[in-house]
Structure 1
């Protein structure tokens, strides 16, 4: 590792960017596995002969790029990228279990309310209909990864005190698990409050996801807006070639 970190180019690139580049290549080549700790600033200073200020700037550069994550009191680690299929209707809890991780939740709101005009239109219900408003921070392995705000017609759910970490498990318990859905994903920057909830930097890249889920009979059952950490999530979809038709003249 020492030789890799000491390798320098012939250009006039600042030293901190050269070190960031070398660390980036070392990580990409499997030199440090996702989730493993980076050597401390002191160790990197000794390995490279660079100043601690230069080393710190290199690390901050890679944190901004989402390659590294800093955990308060624990150190700096190589970010684990979570690949999740973008074409499968699945819950955060199910996805975490498939990765062998323990999901968790910090509840912000769990209450009955009336829907806004927009929510009523999306769910095809009257504005007088009672809905469950569910706001939470989603955790996996103790790490905050997403903020979710879900609105569900109350008729599809058990009592609020019976709703645990998984919304879909609660819907399934009541015989109303969704079978299909539609979602839109947009890139954005984390607002200060979001950054605090997700333990990331202000203006860090996030993914804003709007999801509609439906029952087998076509009724909307869920309208959710989420904010996911873009440095941790990659949504992957299978693609097929477009169908073409030919006509004989």
Structure 2
């Protein structure tokens, strides 16, 4: 595992994100190993001292990288035992579809209200999420999703500006706009977990603070491996179901 982590960290360091902040680079390297199944649920990470020695980083940097993954429930710390990959059930959905596609297939009429739609220079956090080099352009969208006039989801989306030259082309479906540019995603990694809605999400979804919701995080990729979308969505827990078809070997 240590060799895999060293190699992945070096790959990110010498790739497009060379100037990215070290703790963000380490966080992305660890997450990439989890996504690839190299770091498995329940597996112990090396100690902070060992990680610092392996990667030639300070223990403060190591601690900051791990803290972000712990906050996202991807790692857990056990007092006196160390840091472990969280025991999580990850399900791969059989089809890669957009929110709009899902609802249209159910015979519903989705609507969207844009709270933000802008273009800017990528931040260090965004550069790691999208594997972009510093100074690249990024499209930021903050959308409130409705069905029959009722709010059902709120989502923040990042897309490389090079892959979506005109954000105004996104009306209801992001994937339809990307497809028009030949950039519709071919695969995605998606995580889902139950959460208590914070004040901002609860206000937009017209629920009480702390009401149950579903947090869905998605990174979508083109066929050549480039990241085309990074989205963080909050769904009403009382109005949306995720269903997966599971088959035995």
Q: Same fold (TM over 0.5)?
A: yes
Q: Deviation digits for residues 83-131 of structure 1, max 9, x if unmatched?
A: xx94321111111111111111111100001222222112111121001
On the 8 A contact 1:158/1:170 being kept in 2, the answer is no
Shift of 1:161: 2.3
Matches for 1:50-61 after TM superposition, within 5 Å: none
Q: Deviation digits for residues 42-72 of structure 1, max 9, x if unmatched?
A: xxxxxxxxxxxxxxxxxxxxxxxxxxxxxxx
Match of 1:188 in 2: 195
Number of residue equivalences: 158
Match of 2:127 in 1: 120
Which residue of 139, 157, 162 corresponds with 2:164?
157
Matches for 1:94-133 after TM superposition, within 5 Å: 94-133=101-140
Q: What SS does the aligned partner of 1:235 have?
A: coil
Runs of 4+ in 1 over 3 A off after TM superposition: none
Structure 1 Cα separation of the partners of residues 125 and 218 of structure 2: 14
Structure 1 Cα separation of the partners of residues 214 and 125 of structure 2: 21
TM-score, length-scaled by structure 2: 0.60
Shift of 1:134: 0.6
Q: Between Structure 1 and Structure 2, whose CA radius of gyration is higher? A: 1
Match of 1:232 in 2: 239
Shift of 1:202: 1.8
Shift of 1:162: 2.0
Which residue of 172, 176, 181 corresponds with 2:183?
176
Indicate the RMSD between aligned Cα atoms, in angstroms: 1.5
Match of 1:205 in 2: 212
Q: What SS does the aligned partner of 1:105 have?
A: strand
Match of 1:53 in 2: none
Match of 1:76 in 2: none
TM-score, length-scaled by structure 1: 0.60
Shift of 1:133: 0.3
Structure 2 residue runs of 5 or longer lacking an equivalent are 1-91
